[in-house]
Amino acid sequence: MRAPSRWFSLRFPLTPGRWGRGRAAFLRGLLAGLLCGLTVAGAAPAQSPFQIELRLLGRPLTAGQQATVREAARQVSGLIASPFVPVRVNIPAGDCDRRLPAVQGTVRNLIVFVVVRDLGDDVYATGMPCDLQDRTYLPIYGVVDLNSRGLTDLPRVDLLDTMLHELLHVLGVGTLWEADSRVSRNGETDGRSFIRRDGRSLVYTAPRAVAAYRALGGRGRGIPLDPDGGHWDGRAVCAEILSGSAGNFTGRVNPVSPVTLAALEDLGYRVNLLAASRYALPRGSCAAQLRDGSGPLWVPTGGFAGCAAARSAGATLPLRRGEPAYRPELDGDGDGLACEGGR
């Protein structure tokens, strides 16, 4: 088994059947990276009015992993200041994902199934909402698939970071941004799209996140997105919880920026503004974000081209095996230390 070198987040292409209830559209498949950062700042209220109810399925997690998954749910719950609106449902087993059991009766919290299973070598976690409430188009329940491969070796911070990212997808960030995906239980859509094409690229245009982006000094008519349309362009935000840079992995938990918090508002949640992490948009390159001390190390997709690039980005040399920036190609003698002597 190959140890994961990088954490990805993937939204599967969804068939109408998978979404059920005539959901006509599917979300584009996508591959997106994840990874890194600071902690989610801890100003969340002790008891958020919004709770995420976890249901663990599949291969068992260790007690420590379960605690980390619950911590992620607690932190994401703490971002939301509006209560979940209870709803009566009668959803058969396998409606959203064939592994899921039936969801019946009155749902009083956002239910998130966390399914631990083998996702292969390249995909480490996925997250998506399932049924949406009528009128509000907010999720009733959702699913996070967590790759059982490599989980044993995964540091706590990376599991926490991954779960925060995927739970935000379950809430709708990056997954409910297009009209095709915004279909409620009764089969209606509000027709809203938070995304538009700007030349060859996609930009996010919903007002609150755009305002937050501009307040941080961002420019342009929208927020640059990854080609998948479900993550901020990593070049624009560098290390951020919804950054799409696949190599953006620092071994710390990515910050939840005011931009991502405002994206939750665009979806219709009220948010706990105090819960945003310390965050600044990069001035210039992501490496510059590091040098001005406002963010963690940013590792480009595929790793640093060489030791000089790693050093100029601010990486501490030598790079040690297990660190995100480590690549065997930079470790000539294979002793687990790359760029020894700074080269």
**Distances in whole angstroms, Cα of residue 90 to Cα of each of 101, 163, 218:** 11, 27, 44
Our CB check for Zn ion shows the closer of 9 and 184 to be 9
- Lateral strand order in the sheet of 195-198: 195-198, 201-204, 223-224
Q: Minimal CB distance to Zn ion: which residue?
A: 9
Which residue of 32, 35, 80, 170 would you call a contact of Zn ion, by CB under 5 A? 32
Least Cβ distance, residue 59 to Zn ion (angstroms): 22
Q: How far apart are CA 39 and CA 249, in angstroms?
A: 14
In the bound state with Zn ion, the residue whose beta carbon lies nearer, of 266 and 331, is 266
Of 9, 147, 257, 289, the residue at the interface with Zn ion (CB under 5 A) is 9
Which window, 9-17, 105-113, 180-188, 268-276, contacts Zn ion (CB under 5 A)?
Answer: 9-17
Q: How far apart are CA 224 and CA 259, in angstroms?
A: 12
Question: Residue 56: CB partners within 8 Å, gap ≥ 6?
Answer: 66, 69, 113, 114, 116
Stretch that binds Zn ion, among 31-39, 67-75, 96-104, 113-121 (CB under 5 A): 31-39
Sequence-distant (6+) residues with CB within 8 A of 118 are 147, 148, 149
Cα 292 from chain centroid (whole Å): 25
CA atoms of 36 and 254, how far apart (whole Å)? 5
* 38 touches Zn ion by CB under 5 A: no
Of 7-15, 107-115, 177-185, 334-342, the segment contacting Zn ion by CB under 5 A is 7-15
Q: Which positions touch Zn ion (CB under 5 A)?
A: 9, 32
